Chain A
Amino acid sequence: MAEDWKNGGFGLYVHWPFCQAKCPYCDFNSHVAREIDETVWIRAYLSEIERVAGETPDRLLNSIFFGGGTPSLMHPDTVAAVIEAARLHWTFANDIEITLEANPGSAEAGRFLGYRDAGVNRVSMGFQAMNDADLKRLGRIHSVNDALSAFDVARSCFDRVSFDLIYARQDQTLQAWESELEKALNLSVDHLSLYQLTVEDGTAFGDRYAAGKLRGLPDDDRAADMYLLTQDICDSYDMPAYEISNHARLGTESRHNLIYWKYGDYAGIGPGAHGRLTLNGKRFATECPKLPAAWIERTSAGNGESVRTQVSPSEQSEEYIMMGLRLAEGLDIDRYTQLSGKPLPNDKLIYLQDLGMVSLSGATMKATRKGQPVLNAIIRELLAD
């Protein structure tokens, strides 16, 4: 029997942990540093690629993703070196997707050509909002005009361009979001990530929220209305959601992120990067230390990983549900059964179907439009003892 990860493919995630400034809502592993010696970083990435590739020889690499932090602060030569090393150690798929997350500022746009020459074929830009006042509130250092110019440059350099927007923001009305979204959709964009603002612990927003000072956030009812409105508008622009927060024209879905949601294998290198690797028939969760200096130190000792734990079959089946149900195409119930060793309880499936939360067809289960906004509750119901 084929190993389970092959259902999702294999990708490489490269984490660049630095930003020019920390955004108040962001809980990703990012750091602000004054001076960065990129030769040190190239050496570290390359030794990590060599190490992981040694454990996963003969694999076809479907995707590389440069995430962060702000990877568009990397020198194109650094990006090129990483891509070359990956090409050397794995076999690239013919249609390999190589994505780089970019801040939509003028300085970054100047490097886009260099990234293209290095092998990057897709950029994902952090627009976040389409008006300057809200960009300021979100702590962003670019303006809408900066973003639009950067977008034009990106369009001219790359076949595939995506950008992110954050909605359900403070004091945002349904109408304001509708016009903002339409503005975005009218750009020649093939992929959009539309995230509802999530207040995370340990961020500046989290602290302000705890202190009762983050006002004007929508309640659950309005947030749900905004979500449904988003789906309707995007559908009418032929940009349906293929995942809870991601929209694309048919065929331009992010292949890299599909590896996560289809529960494939991925190598994670860089500070705080996570991975899932199937080795000798067992699946492992890997994790690198979050602090850049700690990770660099480890890599120079030969191994950037700080944690490697086996993911048990039943844990794998839970992760598959949590990831797979996010996709519009749904998940394969038989695959779940194979992973967990026991089928999903039929009474729960029928119950959720009767509630209109999921639809069942053959071995495929999908969250319905009604179910998508309450997906966590569906997952709890499915996986509760």
Chain B
Amino acid sequence: MKDDKDHIKKNINLESLPKKQVYVVPENYFNELPTIIQTRVVQPEPSSSPILSWSNALRFALPVLTLIMMLVYFGTRINNDDLNVEAMLDDVPTEELVAFLTESDITTEDLLSLIDINELDLDGMLQEDIRLINEDDWDEIMEEYSDLENEI
């Protein structure tokens, strides 16, 4: 033990150290080794155990599954949010919406940019507008148009 400490304190080099094997082999290890190997060679284990295959499959499948589940979750949530907004707007009376739009700084261009013209039922909207005009206003409008036509 004293010698060991002296070795450490000195400026030692490897050549001066006695070579010793520190790894201990269990008793009969090398006697039993050929039998163990022969057994494994004669009865080969399945090349890949099902448990390992499953664990490997799970290792790769789990992140993919998680990603898919997140996409599905957020996708449906976004769609639900859209539906909720539409449902909420349905409950708001048209007059209040018109009042809000009049008061706000939103321009007609801004509104039009949010609408897909192709999806609009323009004929239906026109019919609805005509239905809302009372007879007196209608006559007035028609008179204006007839005046305009005469001027032209």
Q: Indicate, yes or no, whether A interacts with B.
A: no
Interfacial residues, chain A to chain B (CB-CB below 8 A):
none
